[in-house]
Each structure stands twice: as C-alpha cells, then as structure tokens.
Amino acid sequence: MKTRSVVTMAFLLSLTAGVSQAGGDAEAGKARSAACAGCHGVDGNSVNPEWPNLAGQHPGYIAQQLSYFEDGTRENTTMAPMAQGLSQQDRDNLAAYYAGQKVKTGTADPELVEQGKGIYRGGIASKGVAACMACHGPAGKGNPGANYPALGGQHAAYIVGQMKGFAAGNRKNEAAIKIMKPIAERMTDEETRAVATYIQGLF
C-alpha cells in the first residue's frame, strides 16, 4: 500500500515537475561559476557545512532551484541576490558545470549512523514517514527523470537546515509542499540529525 502510493506520487510529480531539460554548456558555466566559488567551492564542494555541495547534482534540479531563488518560491536571503540576473541559458550552463563535478563524501557520526540508516532505508512506519531511499535512491543518487535531487555526500548541517526549512514552508514549490513538508514535519530533531549524518557518509 505504502510503496504503491509513493510510486503513484512519484509518477504524478514527474509529469508536473516542469524540469528544465535544455542542454547547458559546462565550459560557459565554469566561467560564470567564479561568482559562486567563494561559497560552493571551485569544484562544487563547499567548505562550510551550511552551504550545499553542488557537485554531481542533477542539472535539471540545479537550474530549477536557481529560478526558485530568483522569484522567491524558495526563500533564502543569501541565495536570492545570487540568482538575480541569470538567464535560463546561464542557469543551464551553471547546472551543466556542477553536474559534471564529483562530490566528496563526508563521514557519518558513528553514534547516529545506524538510526539514520534505518530511517533512510526503511522510513518511520509508526509516523507514516516514507523511506528516503524510495525517491533519493539506495546510494543517494536521486532520480533525474522525476527531479528528485541527489543527496549522497551532502553536508549534514545543510540537510538538517533544509528539513527545518521544508517544515517551515520556506520552499513553496509543489514538490516541496506536497512531498517533503509532511515528511520533515513528522520527524524529531534527533531523527533528522541521524538521517542527515547517514546521508553525509553515503555515496
């Protein structure tokens, strides 16, 4: 039952996500990324755990999030100004550049990793929280066709921040509100930290 509803939801969202599939030019994106490197790293691996790695992320997801920051669908005072003045071609070029980089995986906190693994792979049945793996993949690679982002190797601090942000409604696009908000709302701080540290060590 649960698996079936997740699959149905995934199918419906893949129809409505409006994923940008236009081809970007990675070389042009690399040139443009000079403005981003101070926070996201030259190769898309950020040095501050509050700032997301972009390396290896799906290009459609990166380009789409950039337009959400620009129009306020995703609220963030640091990224909003960075996303202004980019054309669709700039977004696609930047996305192509970062998608082609390799994410550097971190390490998981040994005290929380088992609990986190259980949630990632099996969900929390008592609360109706679906397994993260169902959409983000067993190795955290996501699903480009459905525009489910890759998570593997992402900084735990950033993941925790986004889960809080989903719960608070900072990300207002349909997938965020319909899928991630109800998941994030049902998880305790400890459960969120546990799954985040597992993801940080996942590749």
In this structure, what token pair is assigned to residue 82? 């960075």
- Least distance in angstroms from the C-beta of 46 to ligand HEC: 8
Binding of residue 183 to ligand HEC (CB under 6 A): yes
Out of 16, 78, 88, 107, the only residue in the binding site for ligand HEC (CB under 6 A) is: 78
Q: Within a 10 A sphere around the Cβ of 100, how many other Cβ atoms?
A: 16
* Residue 16 burial (CB count, 10 A): 11
Contact 58, 151 (CB under 8 A): no
Q: Compare residues 34 and 110 and give the one whose CB is closer to ligand HEC.
A: 34
Nearer Cβ to ligand HEC (78/107): 78
**Could you tell me the end-to-end alpha-carbon distance of the chain, in angstroms, rounded to an integer?**
29
CB contact set of 175 (below 8 Å; sequence gap of 6+): 13, 17, 147
Q: Do the beta carbons of residue 6 and residue 135 sit within 8 Å? A: yes
By beta-carbon proximity to ligand HEC, the closer residue of 48 and 107 is: 48
Q: Which of 129, 101, 104 is nearest to 116 (CA)?
A: 129
**Residues 115-144 close enough to bind ligand HEC by CB under 6 A:** 119, 129-130, 132, 134-136
Question: What CA–CA distances, in Å, run from 106 to 5, 49, 98, 112, 203?
Answer: 33, 10, 18, 14, 9
Which residue among 55, 94, 103, 108 contacts ligand HEC (CB under 6 A)?
94
Is residue 55 close enough to count as binding ligand HEC by CB under 6 A?
no
| Shortest spacing between CB 111 and ligand HEC, in angstroms | 18
Interface with ligand HEC, residue 28, by CB under 6 A:
no
The yes or no reply on residue 97 touching ligand HEC (CB under 6 A) is no
Contacting positions for ligand HEC (CB under 6 A): 6, 9-10, 35-36, 38-40, 51-52, 54, 57, 62, 65-66, 74, 76, 78-79, 82, 94, 119, 129-130, 132, 134-136, 148-149, 151, 159, 161-163, 171, 173, 175-176, 179-180, 183, 195
